[in-house]
Each structure stands twice: as structure tokens, then as C-alpha cells.
């Protein structure tokens, strides 16, 4: 205890006994400062003063209720989530695009190899009457990102 003449009183905003109506009104307003809880001159005066302080340029910028802070954090988190999602989508899209491109390249390469087999057969003296290519085999291996080597072999036949 200090010998300074001060007296401390502790109140529970949920309490129901031991205080007058003015104190109850004040505690109710302090717990939830909505217009419905401005019920007497004291709570009206306190509310007006708090509004005035909130609107002052020095305080307005720094004033933020817990709800405002939570809303701000939610908005920032949502925006960050969208950015991460977009980046992951781009990465997945790029990988899928490369896979599709490689597959399409292999298909084009196979068709070109078949044409080359036909040309090689014709150059070797086989007439243009090739009816079937049988036992065609393709082998490929990736040599660099986006590049592959292909090997094709097959037998050209003509039916009599």
C-alpha cells in the first residue's frame, strides 16, 4: 500500500451486485460501446469524447480495432493465397505445356521418320508400291531440355 490517498476499485462487467445504476451503465457501455448502450449523460459524454479522439488526425491513422486488424490480416492472407495459387498454376501449366509439347514433338518425329523410311526404301530400289511397313520400331531419348534424339527402323513389304 502506498500512502498517496488513492483508492482502487475493481469491477467485473458481468457483475450484477454491489454498484449503482450509473456504474452498471458505464460497465455495460465499456464492454460493448454500441449506440444501444448509450443510456445516460455519462455514457453519452464518453461516447462523444471517444468519437472525437478517433477522428483526430493523430489518432485516426493509428486507431484500429481488433476486428479491423483481423479483417486486414484476412484480406492480406487471401491476397497472398491468390498470388501463391496463381504462381503454382503457372508452374503446373508450364510443366504440362512442356509435356504436351514434347509428346507432340515425338508424334511429329515419328511421322517424319516413317516418311524417311519410305524414302530410304525407294532410294534403295524398292518401287513406290510399298503397301505396308511392318515391324516399325521407334526409340527416343532426351538429350537436352526440350530436345530428343529418335531412331526408327522398319521393314517395307509389298504383297504379290
Output the pLDDT for position 113: 77
Report d(CA 68, CA 55) in Å as an integer. 16
Tell me, what's the pLDDT at 130?
Answer: 58
Q: What's the pLDDT at 83? A: 92
- Structure confidence by residue, pLDDT tens digits, 24-71: 888 888 888 899 999 999 999 999 988 888 777 766 656 666 667 788
How many C-beta atoms surround the C-beta of residue 105 within 10 A? 15
- pLDDT on residue 65: 67
User: What pLDDT was estimated at residue 157?
Assistant: 67
- Joined together, the cell numbers standing for residue 104 give 507432340
pTM of this prediction?
0.37
Query: Which has the closest alpha carbon to 138: 156, 155, 150?
Result: 150
- What pLDDT is attached to residue 64? 61
Specify whether the CB–CB gap between 155 and 130 falls below 8 A: no
Residues of the chain with pLDDT under 70: 1, 58-67, 126-134, 145-148, 154, 156-160
- Residue 44's pLDDT is 94
Distances (CA, A) of 21 to 9, 150, 154: 16, 92, 102
Amino acid at each position: 500500500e502506498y500512502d498517496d490517498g488513492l483508492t482502487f476499485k475493481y469491477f467485473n462487467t458481468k457483475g450484477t451486485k454491489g454498484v449503482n445504476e450509473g456504474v452498471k451503465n458505464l460497465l455495460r457501455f465499456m464492454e460493448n460501446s454500441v449506440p444501444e448502450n448509450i443510456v445516460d449523460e455519462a455514457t453519452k459524454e464518453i461516447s462523444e469524447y471517444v468519437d472525437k479522439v478517433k477522428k483526430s488526425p493523430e489518432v485516426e491513422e493509428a486507431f484500429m480495432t481488433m476486428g479491423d486488424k483481423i479483417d486486414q490480416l484476412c484480406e492480406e492472407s487471401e491476397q497472398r493465397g491468390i498470388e501463391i495459387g496463381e504462381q503454382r498454376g503457372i508452374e503446373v501449366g508450364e510443366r504440362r505445356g512442356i509435356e504436351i509439347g514434347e509428346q507432340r514433338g515425338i508424334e511429329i518425329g515419328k511421322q517424319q521418320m516413317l516418311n524417311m523410311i519410305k524414302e530410304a526404301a525407294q532410294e534403295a530400289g524398292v518401287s513406290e508400291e510399298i503397301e505396308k511397313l511392318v515391324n516399325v520400331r521407334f526409340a527416343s531419348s532426351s538429350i537436352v531440355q526440350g530436345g530428343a534424339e529418335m531412331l526408327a527402323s522398319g521393314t517395307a513389304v509389298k504383297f504379290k
